Chains A and B, each alone.
Chain A
Amino acid sequence: MDSTFIIEKSVVIVSVFAITMIFAMYSTWAERKVAAFLQDRVGPNRAGWGGLLQPLADGLKLFSKEEFFPNTPNKFLFIIGPGIAMSTALMTSAVIPWGDKLHLFGKDILLQATDIDVALLYIFGVISVGVYGIMIGGWASNNKFSLMGAVRAASQMVSYEVAMGLSMIALLMMTGTLSLKEISAQQSGMNWNVFYQPVSFLIFLICAFAETNRTPFDLAECESELIGGYHTEYSSMKMGFYLFAEYANMFISSAILSILFFGGYNYPGMEWMVENAGVNTANVIGMLALFTKICGFIFFYMWVRWTIPRFRYDQLMHLGWRILIPLAIINIMVTGVCILAFK
């Protein structure tokens, strides 16, 4: 392993980390802005131009808050809960291809921390671990509301993972690979998977909302019933970590949605750009295209939050087990028949 490889990967990893953090930070700002605009208000606009320094002010506030510990026998678990939530949220970004490649210093640099061929499985695995952050936090809080929130979150995430995985199988039957890089490459030239697998996309989208605990599936923290759900007892930056992890998850799931169904870094006319404007320019535009798609999905998350009211818990389970899972299985069968018939 030569040193240039280590430097190259370190730079990519650090920038991926920084980008994820910045996106999560500014998602909090965007959430407040979008919420305000959808309600005919203007939102935060005092800290910096258009309120752009608001996330920094929020972070400063969270850091300087009193760190409160409830009377719990599990202090260690209480501390490690937000840590798990945050680290799982950040770990998924390792396999996401942010662009094709850049040609710098006489060598090709992959714009991806690591291109493993089980990337999709890896993401599903890490997301499943993410539920531990919420579960441990809710359990260690020694509070019935926190525990209720955690139990709800756990059963919700486990239920929707099934439908999510099944919706992916239909897609995998088409792509024939689990590597996100290859899935991106297959979609070049507007061959976006969403046109071939709209049902799969719909199921995945709904499940992504449930997995990230966003409205209309935010039963884990519904304030009208559970005060704050699993993070009721948390304060200071531990609370901040939970909120931050939610926004990081939102960013990552938007990225996965863009890559699996909306062509990733591909944009119309990319090949023409590679031939005429060089690899670097074409791929920088590709990265921008991916980020535009991600921002679009993040906006969609927020837009839905201020449109649809929260589900009741039995409705949530009904939707997950009795509608989405059968629909996903039918989708798999239809996809199988189509592959047999047309290929």
Chain B
Amino acid sequence: MSTTIQNISLSGRKKEVSHKEMSFLESLYLVAIVKGLWITIRHFFRKKVTIHYPEQVRQMSPVYRGQHMLKRDEQGRENCTACGLCALSCPAEAITMKAAERKADEKHLYREEKYAEIYEINMLRCIFCGLCEEACPKDAIYLTTSKVLVPSNYEREDFIFGKDKLVMPLEMAMKNAQLKNAN
């Protein structure tokens, strides 16, 4: 039983180590050196794996998760109702928010009666896991495919992104609405 287990080779390249005396030709090492040179020179002509970064950009995976965005609907109103599910689901505890009640004259700004007055993500804590996106019942928070993750900065406070950086620009919401109508 044990012998059969020892003989299994998952990679198919298993080699027994032998301690036999080297023959004269082997002890010269010249054959081994020439073999080694042959291996390296084949690599010389092989296709290079380098991606020339600024000119070529690596293809991102379809599940890539980048910078967060708080969505607006087709009429440009914010989706977020400050329910707090994203903050609850966040394993890094990066999200904080403060809810506020919508005034009568703010119907064009917020979709529902409650909205997030303050919505902050600490980008130094965020691990871009995407659980906030999964938890959101209102389709409000999304992780975009933007390749810019978090720009460098000098102050730690500057890494706490508020609504000014997170909410989808109004023009983008209008554009999306136009596209939807066109289809």
CB <8 Å contact, B40 and A38: yes
Q: Does B154 touch A at the CB level, under 8 Å?
A: no
A207 to chain B, nearest CB (A): 16
CB <8 Å contact, B50 and A42: yes
A262 to chain B, nearest CB (A): 18
Q: Does A37 touch B at the CB level, under 8 Å?
A: yes
CB <8 Å contact, B33 and A308: yes
Tell me the bound Cα distance from A41 to B37 in angstroms.
18
Which positions 141-162 of chain A face chain B at CB distance < 8 Å?
none
Number of interface residues of A (CB under 8 A): 13
Q: Does A307 touch B at the CB level, under 8 Å?
A: yes
CB <8 Å contact, B48 and A40: yes
Q: How many inter-chain contacts with C-beta < 8 Å in the A-B complex?
A: 33
- B43 touches which of A38, A42, A45, A308 (Cβ 8 Å): A38
Which positions 13-54 of chain B face chain A at CB distance < 8 Å?
33, 36-37, 39-41, 43-44, 46-50, 52
Tell me the bound Cα distance from A40 to B46 in angstroms.
7
Tell me the bound Cα distance from A226 to B77 in angstroms.
67
When distances are taken between beta carbons in the complex, the residues of chain A under 8 Å from B33 are 307-308
When distances are taken between beta carbons in the complex, the residues of chain A under 8 Å from B40 are 38, 303, 306-307
When distances are taken between beta carbons in the complex, the residues of chain A under 8 Å from B41 are 38, 303
B98 to chain A, nearest CB (A): 49
Q: Does A276 touch B at the CB level, under 8 Å?
A: no
B172 to chain A, nearest CB (A): 36
Query: A38-B44, A308-B33, A308-B36 provided; 6 other pairs, C-beta below 8 A?
Result: A37-B44, A41-B49, A42-B48, A45-B52, A307-B39, A307-B40
Please, could you name 29 A-B residue pairs with CB atoms under 8 Å apart, sorted by A? A37-B43, A37-B44, A37-B48, A38-B40, A38-B41, A38-B43, A38-B44, A39-B43, A40-B46, A40-B47, A40-B48, A40-B49, A41-B48, A41-B50, A42-B48, A42-B52, A45-B52, A303-B37, A303-B40, A303-B41, A304-B37, A306-B40, A307-B33, A307-B36, A307-B37, A307-B39, A307-B40, A308-B33, A308-B36
A binding-site residues for B, Cβ under 8 Å:
34, 37-42, 45, 303-304, 306-308
